[in-house]
Chains A and B, each alone.
Chain A
Amino acid sequence: MNGPVIHDANTLPVDDNVNPYAFSVDLDGQWFLQKGKMIAYYGRIEFHGIGHGYLDALIRTSFHSPMHAADWVVAEGRGKMLLADRSFDVNSYDLEDGNLTVRSGNLLAFQPSLSLKQSIIPGFLTLIGTGKFVAASNGPVVFAEPPIRVAPQALVGWADCPSPCHHYDHQYLRGVLGGVRAWTGFGGTSGEEHQFEFVGAGTVLLQSTEQLMEEIPTGETPEQDGVPHASPHNQPSMPRMPGQLGDLQRRFGL
């Protein structure tokens, strides 16, 4: 009978998956990790919060936002390091002078040659440059090409394409009846009336379940006119009425 595969520092894969749930990094220098995702390592590796002494400079070169840097850790040294996240599927991706936007909770680790920025879209982070990064997903990731509409919960990220927009099935949401349906669920809502729509050239990354991973804070954006927020300050505070009723609020300028 064959036993399980036994790994050691020399046989662990170099920057590749050990199994669908764990990724091995051949570290020589620095990598950035989300807090608490390292499960084991060989060699001499130190872990420091960003902002630790001389690592402070990394905020300027790689993080660009002092606000969410506290959720990241710098692994520094030489050795093999295993990363995993609650037994979700993990995958590595190579960016070549590209950009990729990913849901904040899904990004596990990345090479310092990439730089991490907050996306304009709340809850998402954008990686820019050349290098490797590791992201987790619930179930294997599926790559799709636009034009495509995806369920919001299944979206992991997108590369090289323009930002998505919202898409609604208007047949279903329109008018008083549609409003009542959307509001109460009576008359049958499919739960799929709202999608994200991608157009243009690029790649869209989807996960095969609609279970979301917990978000990590991406940091506050400056309170400024024209800057979108997760909890919008620039939107009317009054809730929209069911069925829109001809958008009474808007007509009365509320």
Chain B
Amino acid sequence: MVAYEGEMSFKKMTGGGDGLRGMVTRRLTGEQMAVMEVKGRGTCYFADRASEINLVTLRGETLYVESSNLLCTDGGLRTGTTFTGLRGASQGNGLFTTTVEGTGQAAIMSDGSAIVLRVAPDMPLQVDPGAYIAHTGRLKQHFQSGVNFRTFIGEGSGEAFQIRFEGDGLVYVQPSERNTIGGDL
């Protein structure tokens, strides 16, 4: 929160705001978030280190987003954690990711304006793990690797790891790459 007009009250939500079970899950999975709840009437402004903010409107779908990229959500949306598999490991963000479910809007942050890419059954998408921030829809993720012996003798292509998305949905990427374990290979 950077500023507000009107009457607001702020309350810290212990452990990510998913109740006791959610709190334990977050601790275990390393997807901790410091969450607060704002209630009231007026305009409240949110910002974080001048990063770009993208609004995602959810109508009953699930948004999968890295907890570090989630800025705020409608109070009516449920947050949780889910297992992502190897993708998380390659990003250095752990094996789990945050989910946001329900109907309402969520704001996600990106370094530079995010690009929304559609994935259709006949149109799979490959994304650099460092540029991935979020996705919605029914997507299957594979971890794709181009590592071969050349990677180990220092002749790697610099694009050794990609996440391959298949199915039907939207993927949000940012025009910048986080430092990832696989980033230099």
> Bound state CA distance, A82 and B112, in angstroms?
14
CA distance A73 to B154 in the complex (A): 13
Name A39's contact: one of B54, B113, B175 (CB within 8 Å).
Answer: B175
State how many residues of chain B have any CB contact under 8 Å with chain A.
38
**Complex-state Cα separation, A56 to B157, whole angstroms:** 14
Residues in B with CB closer than 8 Å to A18 are: 115
- Residues in chain B near residue A73, CB distance under 8 A: 157-159
Interface flag for A166 (CB, 8 Å): no
B177 within 8 A of A: yes
B158 adjacent to A4 (CB under 8 Å): no
What 1/0 mask marks residues of chain A from 17 to 29 whose CB sits below 8 Å from any chain B CB?
0111110000000
Main secondary structure of the interface of B (DSSP, over half): loop
Cross-interface CB contact of A84 among B117, B120, B171, B175, cutoff 8 Å: B175
Question: Would you call B146 an interface residue if the criterion is a C-beta within 8 Å of the partner chain's C-beta atoms?
Answer: yes
When distances are taken between beta carbons in the complex, the residues of chain B under 8 Å from A46 are: 146
A22-B112, A51-B155 known; A4+B118 contact, CB < 8 A = no
Task: Determine the distance from Cα of A39 to Cα of B55 in the docked complex, in whole angstroms.
Answer: 21
> B125 on the interface (CB 8 Å rule)?
yes
Q: Which of B55, B120, B146, B183 contacts A4 (CB 8 A)?
A: B55
Q: Contact between A49 and B156 (Cβ–Cβ < 8 Å)?
A: yes
Q: Tell me if A41 and B126 are in contact (CB < 8 A).
A: yes
A90→B157 CA distance, assembly (Å): 21
Q: Which residues of B contact A34 (CB under 8 A)?
A: 158
CB neighbours of B146 from chain A (8 A) = 46-47
- Please, which residues of chain B bring their CB within 8 A of the CB of A5? 116
Smallest CB separation, B124 vs chain A (Å): 7
Q: Are B158 and A19 in contact (CB under 8 A)?
A: no
Please tell me if the beta carbons of A87 and B176 are within 8 angstroms of each other in the complex.
yes
CA distance A52 to B156 in the complex (A): 9
Query: In whole angstroms, how far apart are the Cα atoms of A40 and B127 in the complex?
Result: 4
Taking a contact as CB atoms closer than 8 A, the residue among A8, A41, A48, A87 that contacts B112 in the complex is A87
Q: Which of B94-151 contact A (CB under 8 A)?
A: 111-120, 123-128, 130-131, 146, 150
Residues A38 and B159 in contact, CB atoms below 8 Å apart: yes
Question: A38 to B144, alpha carbons, bound, how many Å?
Answer: 15
Interface residues in A37-62 (C-beta closer than 8 Å to B): 38-42, 45-49, 51-52
A6 contacts partner chain B, Cβ-Cβ < 8 Å: yes
With contacts A6-B116, A40-B131 known, is A70 near B154, CB below 8 A? yes
A1/B57 in contact, CB under 8 A:
yes
- B115 proximity list for chain A (CB < 8 A): 7, 18-19, 22, 40, 82
Whether A36 is near chain B, meaning CB under 8 Å from some CB there, is yes
Q: How far is the CA of A21 from the CA of B173 in the complex (A)?
A: 12
| A interface residues, Cβ below 8 angstroms from B | 1, 3-9, 18-22, 33-36, 38-42, 45-49, 51-52, 70, 73-74, 82, 84-87, 90
Besides A36-B184, A42-B117, 10 more A-B contacts (Cβ < 8 Å) are A6-B116, A19-B112, A19-B113, A21-B175, A36-B159, A39-B127, A39-B173, A48-B157, A49-B150, A87-B175
Question: Can you list 24 A-B pairs, Cβ within 8 angstroms, ordered by A?
Answer: A1-B57, A4-B55, A6-B116, A8-B117, A8-B119, A8-B120, A22-B115, A38-B128, A40-B171, A40-B173, A42-B124, A42-B125, A46-B146, A47-B157, A47-B159, A48-B157, A49-B156, A49-B157, A52-B150, A52-B157, A70-B154, A74-B157, A82-B175, A87-B112
